[in-house]
Structure 1
Amino acid sequence: MQGSKSTQRTASFQLILETAEQLIGEKGCRQTTLQDIIDRSGLSKGAIYHYVSGKDELFGLILKARMEAVNERFERAVAEAAQGEAKAPIQSIARSMVANAGQETVSSKIFTYLLSQIDNPKVAAIMHDVYEYSLQTSSRWIEVGQKAGAIPESVDARQMANLFVVFMYGMRVHRLIAQDSGTQLTEEDVFRLLFRTLV
């Protein structure tokens, strides 16, 4: 993946991400094309292809950017929390998990779109890259909590991170399937589960 070499946030790259997200919100993933992004952003075709080789790769980078945003909120919560205090950082993760799992969110639309094409080897590689990025980020959250004395050292960070990712993906699929059946998890539900599991 060209874009994964560096997700440095140049102004052009940020504009590409924001434009793609706007178009996905308006038209959905299938109807959004790179030409639409070129037309709306005012960037050249070369500028787009400097960062990505195609639409699916761009969509994968948006998912990673969303995970980066969750991580930034987590890091702010950690910086503001007292040593050994886990409530605020875990609450920031729970809030983000619920917000990103909504059926109409751009990240859920992208996740569903890419998952529907998982039999395409290129898309499978993109999804694997997003999964690994999510796993590494989640693992760092556990390690940060352990260093701060908020999470016991006995917790296997990689295994717990794997469970986090399974839960995040499962919650997203659940919201798509269950829709408004009254069985949706709230931020408080997710927080309580994470807090009991980790602390």
Structure 2
Amino acid sequence: MKQEERREQTTRQLLDATKALLQEKGCHAITMKDIVERSELSKGAIFHYVKSKDEIFAWVLQDRLEETNRNFLHEVERGPSFEGPMEVISRNLALLENTQDVTNKVLMYLLGKEDEPAVAEVLKQFYERSVSLSKSWIVSGQHHGVIPESVDPEHAAEMFVLLSLGLRVRSSFPVIPQSSKAADVSSFIVSILQRQ
């Protein structure tokens, strides 16, 4: 097996095991021992790629982001339409409202540890990647003529990431009445992207 294939397989095993453990136990209760046992990987194999469970948790966040990007690009390849790619984004926003979504739990856990330099760095990378992908989605829409050139990709991308982070944070609050839902955020995004 080639090194890249081995890395991919190890990463997938780690992610799958960690996501399952997150659903079962939550972030605070998971130990590296749990991850080693669930993934069926040796400590050496795991520590070859990561230094801590926090780093694996950051991979969970990145994995969702990259999955959304793959789905978005797939819809873009199907044809120059605004609806398909926007549907991908809308589905992702709806997940951000889910109190049981593991990525929301991971984000809140990592935010509680932002004073640790390694965690601060992965949070920074996650934010920057989120903005970068959002910007590329807007630029792609402009390139295909479904988003007006008058939309500032940098400004709109950062605003969308801030809105999505707000949905994530709100999902962790005890039950509160919600007058605005992910569908409202999606509609707001569409109105900004289609303004002339």
- TM-score normalised by the chain length of structure 1: 0.89
Q: Which amino acid aligns with 2:187?
A: R
Residue aligning to 2:170 = 174
Q: Which amino acid aligns with 1:76?
A: H
Q: 1:74 to 1:159 in 2, by over 3 A?
A: same
Residue aligning to 1:197 = 192
Partner Cα separation in structure 1 for residue 110 and residue 91 of structure 2: 24
Residues 16 and 41 in structure 1, CA contact (< 8 A), matched pair in contact too: yes
Q: Secondary structure at the match of 2:141?
A: helix
- Asked if 1:148 corresponds to 2:144, the answer is yes
* Greater shift in the superposed pair: 149-158 or 107-116: 149-158
Partner Cα separation in structure 2 for residue 194 and residue 55 of structure 1: 34
Q: Secondary structure at the match of 1:17?
A: helix
Residue aligning to 2:99 = 103
Q: Which amino acid aligns with 1:192?
A: S
Q: Secondary structure at the match of 2:46?
A: helix
Q: Secondary structure at the match of 2:14?
A: helix
Residue aligning to 2:84 = 88
Query: CA offset at residue 42 of structure 1?
Result: 1.2
- TM-score normalised by the chain length of structure 2: 0.90
Partner Cα separation in structure 1 for residue 83 and residue 38 of structure 2: 42
Residue aligning to 2:19 = 21
Residue aligning to 2:122 = 126
Query: CA offset at residue 191 of structure 1?
Result: 2.5
Residue aligning to 1:47 = 45
How many residues matched?
A: 190
Partner Cα separation in structure 1 for residue 7 and residue 190 of structure 2: 33
Moved over 4 A (4+): none
Q: 1:166 to 1:186 in 2, by over 3 A?
A: closer
Unaligned runs of 5+ in 2: none
Partner Cα separation in structure 2 for residue 108 and residue 159 of structure 1: 24
Cα RMSD of the aligned pairs, angstroms, is: 1.8
Residue aligning to 1:64 = 62
Query: CA offset at residue 9 of structure 1?
Result: 6.3
